[in-house]
Structure 1
């Protein structure tokens, strides 16, 4: 039988020691190590987020068959001369249709966090000669929009994928002109199934200082339509109270 030395640790003991040291260096469950530093002053969202499977909700022909963009733009009151941001623009389904609606005197800013999608959209904008469209990358907790610039900000079938909603819409708020509105189109189902229950959507926007102006169930556009306006002074990040998932 082999004899274990008593004056130095064996290999198994060293392995346990190394494992303990490594574990001490890892972010503990529930700490802020998995979040952008710029988002940590805001509440953590109490909702799962499904992985992005596509930057395009569905093919454009199917969406045009149900006249989706026209119906949403009509509900949002999009008119010639307006300045509009398309957040999560993807391949540009709304970008190109908004550009046509606002006309030569209007402007559309297409934003996404997917560089490859923005490159493809840039090619499309050049090909279709959309001189009133600009393209800009954003961050997961900051849309990076200029202050007091937009009559409408669109978030179509993408808000449920925002991992830092409180930071994101707090930083989005100053970009609205007086009377400007945020337009959300999404689906009433859990966030991990590529949708967001309306109750949770309303709560997150209200927590950051928005009021709900209108909500319409729209089966004909495969979802619902909601619009919000900023209300009162902006809250400080540490004064924002996060929302619980419905049924939690």
Structure 2
């Protein structure tokens, strides 16, 4: 059985109400979020175990829950208990029994060790000041050969800027992340620099990196 850890948007944001994270706007988000491409790249299958960290109200958790079926499991992690409580209510209303919520920390997603096949960090990595610690914990949580997937948006106005300038703009280039993954001991497997536009805005190009833990 595969186990997939998904690290989704805003593990480190305190309180922002962007519409793409609220349940009543999920259908609109489906029009620009290339989930099929993402799921195909990481290999989401029935029976997988999945963790969605920085889950907000559970946009990705709910969709992964349906992908993995009753024999799979979603670990939904966020810093805020109110978001997790909302997700629990949404899961109950939709009859989804394979989602477990977890309260995470800024420097530690509090994951099970050595069990995970894939980690996805979506629109979150740029917010992680303690990204080195996060990557270390993620690596410990992965099985040998397990993958980490980082998905971000790159705003056109900060292309070529320093890492700090980019993160100040809530954005990040893949070139910085590739180096940081390598420094953490991951090996790059896949790169996609054209996953569409965040919120259908052509000034916010979505990219994805997939890297794996060798041993």
Give the TM-score category using the shorter length: 0.7 to 0.9
Distance 1:205 1:54, change over 3 A: farther
Question: Contact (CA 8 Å) 1:56, 1:91: kept in 2 or not?
Answer: no
- With over 3 angstroms needed to count, the CA separation of the structure-2 counterparts of 1:178 and 1:231, relative to structure 1, is closer
Tell me which of 46, 53, 58 is aligned to 1:80. Answer: 46
Distance 1:55 1:169, change over 3 A: farther
Higher strand share: 2
Check 1:89–1:216 CA distance in 2 against 1; reply closer, same or farther (3 A cut).
same
Aligned positions, number = 184
Q: CA deviation at 1:61?
A: 1.9
Change (3 A) 1:210 1:68: same
Cα distance between partner residues in 1 of 2:64 and 2:179 = 28
Match of 1:145 among 78, 92, 111: 111
Structural mapping, 1:23-172, within 5 Å = 53-54=16-17, 57=20, 59-66=25-32, 68-172=34-138
Gaps of 5+ in 1: 1-48, 233-248
The answer as to 2:180 corresponding to 1:204 is yes
The answer as to whether partners of 1:156 and 1:186 remain within 8 angstroms in 2 is yes
CA distance in 1, matches of 2:41, 2:183: 25
Query: Per-residue deviation at 1:98?
Result: 0.4
Residue in structure 2 matching 1:173, options 125, 130, 139: 139
- Mark the structure with the bigger radius of gyration: 1
Q: Which moved more, 1:171-180 or 1:62-71?
A: 62-71
Distance in 1 between the 2:177 and 2:95 partners?
36
TM-score of the superposed pair, with normalisation by structure 2? 0.78
Which structure 2 residue ranges, 5 or more long, are not aligned?
Answer: 1-11, 156-165, 199-205
Q: Is the 8 A contact 1:55 1:90 kept in 2?
A: no
SS of the residue aligned with 2:207?
Answer: strand
In the aligned structure 2, how far is the partner of 1:105 from the partner of 1:228?
26
> In structure 2, what is the equivalent of residue 225 of structure 1?
208
Q: Deviations over 1:87-121 (max 9, x none)?
A: 11111111001011011111111111122211111
Residues of 2 paired with 1:75 and 1:127: CA distance?
A: 30
